[in-house]
Structure formats: structure tokens, C-alpha cells
Structure 1
Amino acid sequence: MAVTVKHHVREFFRVGPARRDHVVATRCAVSVGLPLLILLAAGRFDLMVFAAFGAFTGIYGRGEAHGVRLRHQGRFGVLILLVMFAGALTSAAGAGPWGIVFGTTIVAGLWSLAVNYFQLRPAGVIFFTFGYAAIGSIPLTTPLWQAMLTGLASVLLAMLIGISSRLHPAWRTSMAAPERRILTPGQWREFGVEAGANALAALAAGALATTVGLGHNYWAMVAAVAPIAGPSLAQRVNKGVHRILGTFAGVAAAGLLLAPHPAPWVMVLIVIVLQFAAEMFVLRHYALALIFITPLALLMTELAAPTDPTALMVDRAIQTAIGALVGLSLVYLMHQRTLREKTRRRLRKHQDPEA
């Protein structure tokens, strides 16, 4: 046991090797920064949140060939636009905190099936739950068609930047169509289990956070679904622990950045730098990346709907702890289910060797 604990502690402080991360980081920073700078110049702060979520398209297919990246980004783009549309309708309807909880629960379950079916990477439903709940939680002060057009333009710009390196002959990669994938009943069953876990995580964390009475209950739901996607128990637990520790450090960093009450144009520039830094480390050390991701998300929230920064940071820290603990509890239950299934299969094989 002591050896295992030492191993995990040692692994926590290990930063993975760089794999041309600066290329992806630059691509993502431009995808996020360019729309925000355009909207800043136009004075349209009300549209920034839609541009920002659309720009997350650039994160997908980061290490893939051009054809695969374009397909992944296109699929993510459609899914995130649907999320933004649903979030905007939820905001317009004035659904309130509990409406956000139930809506996010539905998004977490259904979009989990879509992510697994399309094999999107990064896996999981963090961006979709965050997108729906964040947009649904702020007042819709702009015409819906303008919001959706902004989101669509941001998605298309990220896709264009993602495929732009094909202009250089030495960087061109395959555009061939993928082989058709046939899913087995077992794979669909696993997709359903993960979708149910995501929905339950969002519901439990959101209900608990809303009952406690803190604002921004969606931070708890985002943190709860974060550990669900992962190939093993150890990786899921590590992701949950990284989420908590990285978020606390990121909240402190956000406090330092927001303390001088920066002007909007300064906040946009900080967002661009933070996006670059986050993509530099997200695959190498999740907690370290969250030191940049957390203030990035908080600054985006401040740009969309300015509030008391101190209250925002307190909410983020406490809600993340609540959500991550809920997510880790579900990860443990999923692991126990897997162990029981393996035991049943071994027993059946022992009783009937020819089965």
C-alpha cells in the first residue's frame, strides 16, 4: 500500500514530455483570441461567451491527420452549437438553478453517447456541460440569431485554422475517409453505462450544490463529469484529484489576475495567454493545466456577466470540491460494477468451460 501511495505521489509531480504542444497551443490561442478581439473592437461583450465556446472546436483532433481532425472538429462544432442553442433557450425561459441542473443532466447523458459514438478526443462531456450550464445561467441580452451566428462563425474559424497547415506541402496529412466502424452490443452497453454515470454525476452534484445555496452551481456539475471518462480506475481517480488541487491553485491565480480589476481588453489578452498555456500542459500534467484553465474560465465568465470576483472564486473552489467528490464516488461504483461482471464471467466459464 505504501509503495502504491509513493508511486502516485511521485507520478503527481511528474510532467510528461512535450510533443510539439506549442503548435496546438498556438492554433487554439488564435482560435479563441481572434473572435474575442474582433468582438472587443466592436464592443459586443454580450456575444463573447458564444464565440469562446465555439472556439473550443480547435482543441479537438489536436494530434490527428488533417482529415480526421476536420471530421472531429466538425462533429464537435455541431454538438457545441446545439448545446449553445439549448443553453440560450434555457436562459430565455428563466429556468433558474434547478432548471439548469435538470437540463445539464440531460446534456451530460445524451452528449456522452454522441462523444463515444464519434470517438471525439478529448473524451468526456466537460465542454458540453460547461457550455450549456454557463450560457443557461447568464441573461440572454442579445438576439438569439446573433448569438448562434457568432458561435457558428467561431466554429468555422477554428476548423479553418485547424486545416490551414495543409497549405504547406511538408505538413500535409491524409484526408482519406475513415473505415466504417461497426459497434457491438457490448460497446453500446458500455456507452450507456458511461452516459448514465455522466447524467447521474451531473444531477447529484448539481442538486447538492444548489441545495447548499452557492451560486454558479454548474462548476460542481462540470467537476463531477470530469473523472468519468477514462480507461482505468487509477486514471479516473488521478484526474479527480488533479481537478481539485489544480482548481484550488487556479483560483489563487485568478485572484491575483482579477485583483487589479483589469480592463476588458487586458482580460481578453490574458485569456489568449492562458489558453496557450493550458494547451501546452493539458496532456502533460492535468493539475498544472488547471492552474491556467481555472482563471481562463473565470475570466470568460467575468467578460460575459461581470460579478463580484471574490464570490466567483469562492463558488468555483467549493463547487469544484463538491463535484469532484461526487464524480470520484461514481468512479468507484463503476469500478466495483466492472469487478462484479468479471467475477460473474469467470464463474460462468468455470461452470461451463465450453461457453
Structure 2
Amino acid sequence: MTHLQEIFRIAPANNDHQAAIRCAVGLGAPLLLLLFTGRIDLAIFATFGAFTGIYGRNEPHRQRLGHQGRAGALMLAVILAAALCARLDLDDWGTVVGTTAVAGLGTIATGFWRLRPVGSLFHIFAFAAISSVPNQPPLWQGMLTAVLTVGFSLLLGLSGMLVRKHRTEWARHERPRFSRVQRRLIYIDGLQYATAAVLAGSIATLLGIGHNYWAMVAATVPLVGATVRHRVHRGLQRILGTFGGLLLTALILFPGLEPWQMVLVIAACQFGAEMFIARQYALAQVVVTPLALVSTELAHPSDPLELLRDRGLETLIGAAVGMAVVVAVHLRQQHLREKHARRKQDQIGQLR
């Protein structure tokens, strides 16, 4: 019962609606503009550029600008790498290799840049999704779309400065240096993300399931958390929330929405995701799932049944791999601690 209560517990709100509105507008407005100008082929670049608004959600305005600036720069680097790799016509294994590199390097970058959310989940998603898109638009157009969307997100992040009661002090805060132990932990995190990603992606590829990178994204979810139990709970929440989200996605996709209606659904799901992502991860996944799948359908229409099947299978594989990595690392650390304790006891015994 304790585990169930923790999995389904909803944390108190913390002005989540403010960040949710910014993120919904930051994603919805660029997509509507591209739709009305007939350039929906650039939607994927705008979507991932808009992810900049997810970072630094509750920080003072000056810190938020710096935080989102670093996050936007990293996302643009990932988008550029993905667009260049797409021109190499990577096969499924090439996607696994490239995405694994992004998983490790992205985690290290977010660690040293102190980005929140931590890890490289969004970068994995961005790289694999963009690099898998056939018939890429001209590179300069895709990157210009991403840059403009990042800039729009930065402006939205500062929009609270226009309202007196929401305005924060424009003061600089010094960031402390990393200790040697902290730097080592960042590199270890990068290795864990890369390991989970390559294992999940390899399994999905060997099984011949489409969208193998969804498994790689899901595998990184359990790697975030203060304790082993919390990390395993996140993996279970990912599975439960995704399957709830698949039911919601079916209700959205099967009626056959018009593109402009899909954009409104995407913006609404982005709002819902930001409302609950910090409070109840499983509930957030119920809206994150249609957010991801409707975005995919908007850019590249496909068979909805196949899309839903792939998402469900990939999530099961990825979450299981991620939880297995968490448990394996925990058991390894426990073994090393016990071994160190026995050695210390032996040394004390010899001295006596």
C-alpha cells in the first residue's frame, strides 16, 4: 500500500499554471503560424525548439533567462546534429548509435550547465525524431525555425516582467564550483544514460519494432530520482501513464482531426503536461503520450493503430531496461560498500 500511495500521490501545486501557459503558447503559436503559411514540414523543428520553455520554470527572471539560454543553445546543437545526420540516411542501428552518443553527452552537458529537468530525455527525443525524418527541408530553413522558436520561448520566459506583481529582482547569483566528487557523478550519470539507451534501442531494433528511439527515451526515465525506490516508481509511472495516454490518443486520432485541430490538441496537452509533470508523473504521461503521438501524426501521417502499438511496446521495453539498470547499479554499489566494510574490518583485526 505504501508503494501504491507513493506512485499515485499528487504533490502540492507551485504556480504550475504560469509555466504551463508559457509552454503551451510557446509551442502552439509557432505551429499555428507554420500551418497557416503551409510549412508544416518545419513543425518538428519548432516543436523541439519550443522545449526550451520547459527549463527554469520557477526561477527568477534573470536566472530563468540564463537557464533557458543554455538549454536553448544545447537543444539547437542537438537539432543541428540531427538534421545533418538525417542527410546521411541512417538506418535503425545508426539511429541507435547516434542517439546513444546524444544520451551520454547530453546528460554530461545538462549536468555541468545545471539544467533542470536533469538528464538528456528531451535531447534523445529531438535527435532521434529529427534524424529519422525523410525528405528533410533545407537545413537553413529548419535551423531558422528552431532558432526563432527558441527566441520566442526566451521572450515568453521574461513575459512576467511586464506584470508588476510577477516581476522579480534582476540580480546575478553566483554559481558554486563543482567539487571533484560532483564532476565524477556527472560523468557516471552520462554513462548510465548511454548504457540504458543503447540497451533499450538495441532490443527494440532486434525485435523489429518501429520508432526504436521511443524505447531509448523511456529507458532514461527511471534514471532520475533521489532513491532507488523513487526511480523504480518513475519507471512504473511511465508505463501506467503511457497506457492511459494511449487510450486518450485513440479517442483523439481515430475521428480524423484537421491539422489545425491537431495543433490545438498539442498545445492543450503541453499545458496539461506542465501542470502535472512536477506533481504526478503518471498523470502527466497521460497527456504527454498524445502530445508526442499527435505531433508525430501532424508531421508524418501514418497508421494510428501501428503508432499506438509501437508506443506501448517501446515504453514497456524502455522502462523495464531503465529499471533494470537502476537496480543493477544499486546492487553493484551495495556490493562495493560491503566489500569495503569487510576490508576495513580485516585491517582493524590485523592491527589488534
Do structure 1's residue 286 and structure 2's residue 281 form an aligned pair?
yes
Please list, as runs of the form range in 1=range in 2, the aligned pairs for 1:211-222 lying within 5 A after superposition: 211-222=206-217
User: Structure 1 length as normaliser, TM-score?
Assistant: 0.94
Q: Is 1:207 equivalent to 2:189 in the alignment?
A: no
Match of 1:10 in 2: 5
1:64 maps to what in 2? 59
Question: Within 1, Cα distance between the matches of 2:144 and 2:213?
Answer: 25
In the alignment, is the contact (CA less than 8 A) between 1:55 and 1:158 conserved in 2? yes
- 1:13 to partner: Cα distance: 2.6
Q: Hey, what does 1:249 align to over in structure 2?
A: 244
Asked if residue 126 in structure 1 is aligned to residue 121 in structure 2, the reply is yes
Query: Bigger shift: 124-133 or 14-23?
Result: 14-23
Aligned partners of 2:122, 2:293: CA distance in 1, in Å?
14
Aligned to 1:175: 170
- Aligned partner of 2:271 in structure 1 is 276
User: 1:325 & 1:31 partners in 2: Cα distance?
Assistant: 33
Q: Deviations over 1:59-96 (max 9, x none)?
A: 11111111221111111101111111111112111011
Match of residue 179 from structure 2: 184
1:338 aligns with 2:333: yes
Indicate conservation of the 8 Å contact 1:125/1:226, yes or no: no
Q: Measure how far apart 1:31 and its partner are.
A: 0.6
For structure 1, which runs of at least 5 residues remain unmatched after alignment? 1-5
CA RMSD of aligned residues (A): 1.5
Q: How far does residue 14 in structure 1 lie from its aligned partner after superposition?
A: 2.1
Q: CA deviation at 1:189?
A: 1.6
**Contact kept in structure 2, 1:57 and 1:76, CA below 8 Å:** yes
Structure 1 residue 338 displacement after superposition: 2.9
Note if 1:137 corresponds to 2:104: no
| 1:347 to 1:159, Cα distance in 2 relative to 1, 3 A | farther
Hey, what's the Cα distance between the residues in 2 that align with 1:12 and 1:325?
Answer: 16
Conserved 8 A contact 1:91-1:135: yes
The CA deviation at 1:343 is 3.4
Secondary structure of 1:138's aligned partner: coil
Count of equivalent residues:
348
Q: Point out where structure 2 has 5 or more consecutive residues left out of the alignment.
A: none
C-alpha displacement of 1:341: 4.2
Distance, in Å, in 2 between the alignment partners of 1:64 and 1:89 is: 34
CA distance in 1, matches of 2:171, 2:81: 33
Residue 55 (structure 1) aligned with residue 50 (structure 2): yes
Supply the AA of the counterpart residue of 1:112.
Answer: T
**C-alpha displacement at 1:42, in angstroms?**
0.4
Change (3 A) 1:235 1:144: same
In structure 1, how many angstroms separate the alpha carbons of the residues matched to 2:8 and 2:225? 20
CA distance in 2, matches of 1:177, 1:345: 43
